[in-house]
Amino acid sequence: MELFELQKKVFTPIYEKYEDHKTSPVLQTFERFKDRLETGDFYKIHMDDLLVGSVHVYKKSPQVMRLHMINILEDCQGKGIAQQVMDRLETMYPEADSWELDTILEEERNCYLYEKMGYDQTEDRWKVNDKMTLVHYVKTSNIKRMKAL
């Protein structure tokens, strides 16, 4: 229940900003949240012994990992936590040749973070409403990039 409430708290400002009544985690039922816990891996993010966020990843295929959701409390954003989490996830899943995720195109800080972490924006986009568009990102693993050199 703690992670469910954390998710709602993190995503409420985004829900209010974009009025996303279709895809927002704020509207997710507890039953759906519990189902998601059974698919892939769900990790708590701690800073100074406090729960500050969570991340959910799953295998889309044997070599493709999907970063489904990363959420960090607003007061803890901008401190490099997401970067550390993403780096650590990549070391935890060395079998992954690539990673993918979707984010809100209008959230420039998110797009900047993912691009800084080596993700490339694709042409795949989904207009949720007049205020919000989702965009797809892909990252080829560092090991695969080194082999290509």
Q: What does the DSSP assignment read for the chain?
A: -HHHHHHHHHHHHHHHHHT-TTT-GGG--HHHHHHHHTSSEEEEEEETTEEEEEEEEEEEETTEEEEEEEEE-GGGTTSSHHHHHHHHHHHH-TT-SEEEEEEETT-HHHHHHHHHTT-EEEEEEEEEETTEEEEEEEEE-HHHHHHH-
- The model's confidence at residue 23, banded by pLDDT at 50, 70 and 90, is confident
Q: For 29-43, how does the pLDDT look when each residue is reduced to its tens digit (9 = 90+)?
A: 999 998 888 889 999
- The model's confidence at residue 89, banded by pLDDT at 50, 70 and 90, is very high
- The mean pLDDT of 54-60, rounded to a whole number, is 95
Q: For 114-124, how does the pLDDT look when each residue is reduced to its tens digit (9 = 90+)?
A: 999 999 999 99
- Between CA 70 and CA 117 the distance in angstroms is 14
Q: Report the percent of the chain where pLDDT is more than 90.
A: 85
pLDDT at 129: 96
pLDDT over 70 at 149, yes or no: no
Say what angle helices 81-92 and 108-116 make with each other, to 10 degrees. Answer: 40
Q: What is the CA radius of gyration of the chain?
A: 15
Comparing 136 with 23, the larger pLDDT belongs to 136
- Between CA 1 and CA 87 the distance in angstroms is 27
Tokens of 31: 């039953």
Q: Which of 126, 124, 145 is nearest to 134 (CA)?
A: 126
pLDDT over 60 at 127, yes or no: yes
The domain ranges of the chain are: 2-148
- The mean pLDDT of 47-68, rounded to a whole number, is 94
pLDDT over 70 at 142, yes or no: no
Domain 2-148 has CATH 3.50.50.60: no
pLDDT over 80 at 147, yes or no: no
**pTM given for the model:** 0.88
